[in-house]
């Protein structure tokens, strides 16, 4: 569910998954030439689409979580390059604007797991 209480549509989920797969392949094959950034080490965990499908929020995490803030800043800075490569991979009426965000879900899951372990001791 989105923050406004509107349910996420099947179309949003389908388009988000399509963009996630395309971004993953772009990063894996280093198709987007970004200076001073090894894209093979970047994992795209989720892509959330806006209601109008014009904005895609990509949750990414560098391998091992190291230098995550620097990687996110580079991705934001060169999102136009990634978007250009993405335009050749997928066909849509409007190619969404890409927003890159650090995926905090793994940190949160680890924190919960540690709390559960502490209660069992």
Asked if pLDDT for residue 64 goes beyond 80, the answer is no
Q: Which residue blocks in the chain are alpha helix, DSSP H?
A: 10-28, 68-77, 79-89, 105-120
Q: How far apart, in whole angstroms, are the C-alpha atoms of residue 82 and residue 35?
A: 12
Q: pLDDT tens digit string along 39-58?
A: 888 889 999 999 999 999 99
Q: pLDDT tens digit string along 16-34?
A: 999 999 999 998 888 888 8
Asked if pLDDT for residue 1 goes beyond 60, the answer is no
Sorted by sequence, the CB contacts under 8 Å of residue 1 that are 6+ apart come out as 7, 8
Model pTM above 0.85: no
Q: What is the mean pLDDT of residues 56-67?
A: 85
Q: Write the class of the CATH domain 10-120.
A: alpha beta
Sorted by sequence, the CB contacts under 8 Å of residue 6 that are 6+ apart come out as 51
Q: What residue segments make up the domains of the chain, in order of their start?
A: 10-120
């Amino acid at each position: 569910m989105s923050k406004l209480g509107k349910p996420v549509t099947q179309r949003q989920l389908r388009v988000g998954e399509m963009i996630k797969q395309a971004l993953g392949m772009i990063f894996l094959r280093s198709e987007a030439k970004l200076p001073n950034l090894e894209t093979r080490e970047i994992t795209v965990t989720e892509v959330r689409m806006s209601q109008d499908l014009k904005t895609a929020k990509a949750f990414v995490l560098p391998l091992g979580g190291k230098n995550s803030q620097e990687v996110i800043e580079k991705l934001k800075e060169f999102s136009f390059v990634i978007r250009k490569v993405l335009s050749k991979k997928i066909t849509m009426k409007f190619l969404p604007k890409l927003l890159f965000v650090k995926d905090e879900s793994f940190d949160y899951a680890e924190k919960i797991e540690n709390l559960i372990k502490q209660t069992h001791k």
